[in-house]
Amino acid sequence: MKKAFYLIVLFAAVFIASCKKKDKTSDGNGITGPSKTGSALDLMRDSVFIYAKEAYYWYDALPSYSSFNPRSYTGSSDLDALTKEVDALSQYKINPQTGQPYEYYAAAPGEAKYSFIDEGQVSTQLNGTNSNFGFAPLFNDVNDLRIKYVYPGSPADLAGVKRGYKIITINGNSNLSYDGGSGTNTKFIINAYANSSTITMTLQKQDLSTFQVILNAASYTINPVLTYKTIDAGNGKIVGYVVFNSFTSDANADAKLDAAFNYFQTQGITDLVVDLRYNGGGYVSTAEYLDNLIVPAPKSGTPMYSYYFNDILVNNQETLLANQIRRDASNNSLYNYAQFNYTVAGNTTKFTKKGSLNISRVFFIVTGATASASELTINNLRPHLNVQLIGTTSYGKPVGFFDIDINKYEMYIPEFETKNSAGQGGYYTGMTPGSTDYPGVKDYDDPTKDFGDPTEALLAHALNYVKNGVYSIPAQRVQGLSNTLKTFSVEESNAASVVLNDNKFSGMIFNKKLNKR
């Protein structure tokens, strides 16, 4: 899986046809040049280009077919060649605020921050089923590898693995210090936990005792609510705390969210902390569901957020999208993307209050791993209640996609931008806690403690604010003088996390149909 945090739009449909682009030389928008002849790879490379010229949000910056020459992109496999082409297309449109491409990715310049192409893994991954060990690692420091989280009911959970445990050895190897994205140690760790069916680890608990676990990868149903609890802050203040780790499908996530929020309601919470620190996103409909659980009841029926497409789609000038045939699961009818209404008026979602939770303030815990659907959830609520952010700058992804079939592959390129009811959006460089736009406090993740521990740095900030009306003083990090002493900077920590997350999907998937014209 590619490194970026994806904001994806998948419509509620069963894919019944794949456009192989074998008989088009023009899309009706002045895009000419592709030949009807050539190898299967040639035709797919042509398709990637001409679909981008029609549907890409920043299509206006793309060069001509002859200048770009899609068939010049090669790789070790067809998918590798197509990925290189998608990466190249992503670098043309410049963000005037940064002077870099909108899809500039600091950890890998030249690669797309948002766009990607795959063989359908993304559309399979978020239906609530995993087949792995059920945990993820994180470098707390160069020489400090920790358990970042554990999914309930997974092999790791059943073996007693907890967040915050230090990983001493993996498969007998104690050389686990971070040595860069392509380092021997880092690759060993990734292969052991992400690409193997069995793993043996020696783990150290917070009390410094150690134990060994042997895990076998197995299928389990993801519970995206890792934990929830209430904390008595005194003076009549009850804080509800929930860790939501992935916006899986509504069928998987909604009931689990309901259980947490029903508990909060019965406990009479006065404040809410939603921990999204590792949540790279998922389905848009689930993000809307979470927003509807949090938003004040009087906001029901008012605008939540809107989608903004490029002018080709808004003006109904698209022609290639007519080849993307889908089946409407609700009535079994066929349709294609060219039948949709791409105007803002036709793509504005309204709040529909869920439950009876009544709060005026919500704290979101965020890090550089907080992306897409998580950011959308936060942004949607900003105009409607007191939203506070705690942590480090989020990933920054206010754009989204619908999938485009290219033979056996699915291409995701940004086709729209989202903005809340106040027109706020554009957070391409992320949401920074404690800034003018995002009140709160900036501080570091503390993976040495389990979720819900009141002494964990980021949760402690929220509790202090509820108790005293101010945030506690952020922790200080000092850059050491050698690799053995160095404390990770935020940038280094984010880079290491991205590398370790290389095989984990992160993004936001819009699993609803657009309105038809």
Structural domains of the chain ordered from first start: 19-124 (no CATH), 130-221 (2.30.42.10), 225-402+414-476 (3.90.226.10)
Structural Rg of the chain based on CA atoms: 23
Q: How far is CA 384 from the centre of its chain?
A: 23
Of 183, 262, 189, 186, the C-alpha closest to 225 is: 262
pLDDT at 323: 84
Per-residue pLDDT for 273 more than 60? Answer: yes
d(CA 293, CA 260): 10
- Given a cut of 50, whether residue 21 has pLDDT beyond it is no
Query: Where does the pLDDT of residue 482 fall: very low under 50, low under 70, confident under 90, or very high at 90 and above?
Result: very low
Q: Mean pLDDT over residues 477-496, rounded?
A: 52
Residue 489: its pLDDT value, please?
63
Average pLDDT over residues 55-72: 97
DSSP for residue 495: H
- Flag whether pLDDT at 10 surpasses 50: no
The average confidence (pLDDT) of the chain is 87
Instruction: Determine contact, residues 42/71, Cβ cutoff 8 Å.
Output: yes
Q: What is the mean pLDDT of residues 24-52?
A: 75
Q: How confident is the model at residue 355 (pLDDT cuts 50, 70, 90)?
A: very high
Looking at the chain, how many residues does it have?
517
Other beta carbons less than 10 A from residue 346's beta carbon: 16
pLDDT at 333: 80
Return the DSSP state at 98.
Answer: T
Q: Is 50 exceeded by the pLDDT of residue 28?
A: no
- What confidence tens digit (pLDDT) does each residue in 93-107 have? 999 999 999 999 887
Count CB-CB contacts under 10 A for residue 305. Answer: 26
104: nearest Cα among 309, 183, 96: 96
Give the least confident one: 73-87, 183-197, 443-457, 469-483.
469-483
45 has a pLDDT exceeding 70: yes
Exposure of 204 by Cβ count < 10 A (0-12 exposed, 13-18 middle, 19+ buried)?
middle
CA-CA distance, 293 to 19, in Å (whole number)? 39
361-382 pLDDT tens trace: 999 999 999 999 999 999 999 9
**β-strands 225-234, 237-244: how paired?**
antiparallel
Q: What are 193-243's pLDDT values in tens digits?
A: 988 999 999 999 999 999 999 999 999 988 999 999 999 999 999 999 999
| β-strand partners of 283 | 509
Average pLDDT for 285-304: 97
Tokens of 118: 């795959």
Provide the pLDDT for residue 487. 56
Residue 157 above 70 pLDDT? Answer: yes
Cβ-proximal residues to 478 (8 Å cutoff; 6+ apart), any chain? 487
CA distance 109 to 235: 51
Kind plus residue range of the DSSP H or E element containing 379 = helix 373-381
> What's the pLDDT at 130?
65
Q: Does residue 481 have a pLDDT over 60?
A: no
**pLDDT score of 486 more than 90:** no
Kindly state the tokens that stand for 401: 């996609």
Mean pLDDT throughout 461-489?
A: 69
Average pLDDT over residues 61-85: 97
241 touches 459 (CB < 8 A)? yes
Q: DSSP labels for 56-94? A: -TTGGG---HHHH-GGG---SSHHHHHHHHHHHHTTSSE
Tokens of 83: 């990925």
Residue 339 pLDDT exceeds 50: yes
Long-range Cβ contacts of 61-68 (<8 Å, 24+ apart): 61/92, 61/93, 61/94, 62/89, 62/92, 63/92, 64/33, 65/31, 65/32, 65/33, 65/34, 66/33
Q: What percent of the chain lies above the pLDDT cut of 70?
A: 83
CA distances from 367 to 64, 115, 178, 316, 390 (A): 39, 21, 20, 39, 8
Estimate to the nearest angstrom the gap between the alpha carbon of 167 and the chain centroid.
Answer: 26
d(CA 21, CA 36): 8
Band (129; pLDDT cuts 50, 70, 90): low
For the cut 90, the answer to whether the pLDDT of residue 307 exceeds it is yes
Q: How far is CA 1 from the centre of its chain?
A: 13
* pLDDT value of position 226: 97
d(CA 46, CA 511): 27
**Range with lowest mean pLDDT among 84-88, 116-120, 267-271:** 116-120
Sign of the Cα torsion 446, 221, 153, 193 reads: negative
The helix-helix angle for 184-194 and 490-500 (nearest 10°) equals 50
pLDDT at 11 over 50: no
pLDDT in tens, 372-431: 999 999 999 999 999 999 999 999 999 988 889 999 999 999 999 999 999 999 999 999
**Residues near 106 by Cβ (< 8 Å), separated by ≥ 6?**
none
- In angstroms, the CA 46 to CA 21 distance is 8
Q: Using pLDDT thresholds of 50, 70 and 90, give the confidence band for residue 126.
A: low
The four Cα atoms 458, 464, 470, 475 give a dihedral, to 10 degrees, of -40
Q: How far is CA 377 from CA 38, 280, 359, in A?
A: 45, 12, 16
Within 211-316, residue ranges assigned H as helices are 250-267, 284-294, 311-314
228 - beta bridge partners? 242
Residue 160 pLDDT > 90, yes or no? yes
> Helix, strand, or coil here: 260?
helix
Compute the half-sphere exposure of residue 517: CA atoms within 13 Å on the CB side of its CA: 12
Q: Please, what sign has the CA dihedral across residues 505, 507, 511, 513?
A: negative
Q: What are 141's strand-pairing partners?
A: 144
Q: Is 19 helix (H, G, I), strand (E, B) or coil?
A: coil
**Residue type at 202 in one-letter notation:** T
